[in-house]
Amino acid sequence: MLKKMTFRQLTATFVIAASTNSLLQADELTNWPCEQAFVAEVPAAVVWAGPEIVGLEQSWDKDQAVEVLVRQLVSPEYEIEMADKHIAGFAEKQRPEVKDRKLTLLFAGIISQLNIQRQKALNGIIRYANGQAERANQLSEELDEMVRLQEDGSPEAQQRLAIMQNEMEIKQRMFDERESFIQHLCTRPRLVEEKLGVLARTIAYYLD
């Protein structure tokens, strides 16, 4: 039979895990488990040194050629190594007097769509972390119950304790597996940011 101190140590472990994954950053944010600070959206100024894009985020898709290329470039399946070739080809087709505006429209569409992708990734992380926090609280409550059962010497209590011990091993293993997966989820927004940076620099290269 496990000792009482072991139960209390386990309880503390889950409470610490829950608090570590509960960094309050904004009103709508309950749990943020990633080392990278929570930023709801990547501002254009962080990655873009070209012309102002204010107002273009809502109009880029009115240009068919721009829209087609934006959809291609932001696709999760797109091979980023092909970006220079495709953006260069797009730039070469533009008349000199409109080329910079077309490239700026292209960037406006890209940052708009990639920020949407990134927001979905952030929301997924938050939902996952909230679920982990709930599981940690539930496990903490069950561990407290196991401590109480251990103090109760009745056969019924000991039978219930044995069942809970077996279940707890499975639940703890599942909790740990889910906890380790969080760091994988945390890479998703960063990958979107890296892609945005590559595309922004490539487009800017072809500006006059």
What are the pLDDT digits (tens) for 56-89? Answer: 988 999 999 999 999 999 999 999 999 999 999 9
Q: How many domains does the chain have?
A: 1
Using the 8-state DSSP alphabet, how is residue 26 labeled? S
Please indicate, yes or no, if residue 157 is contained in any of the structural domains. Answer: yes
Say what the pTM is. 0.74
Would you say residue 46 has pLDDT above 60?
A: yes
- Which of 48, 38, 51 lies closest to 186, judged by CA? 38
Q: How far is 121 from 72, CA to CA, in rounded Å?
A: 19
Of 25-29, 50-54, 102-106, 140-144, least confident by mean pLDDT is 25-29
Q: Which domain holds residue 83?
A: 4-10+56-205
Please indicate, yes or no, if residue 156 is contained in any of the structural domains. Answer: yes
Please indicate, yes or no, if residue 30 is contained in any of the structural domains. Answer: no
Please indicate, yes or no, if residue 175 is contained in any of the structural domains. Answer: yes
Q: How far is 69 from 90, CA to CA, in rounded Å?
A: 8
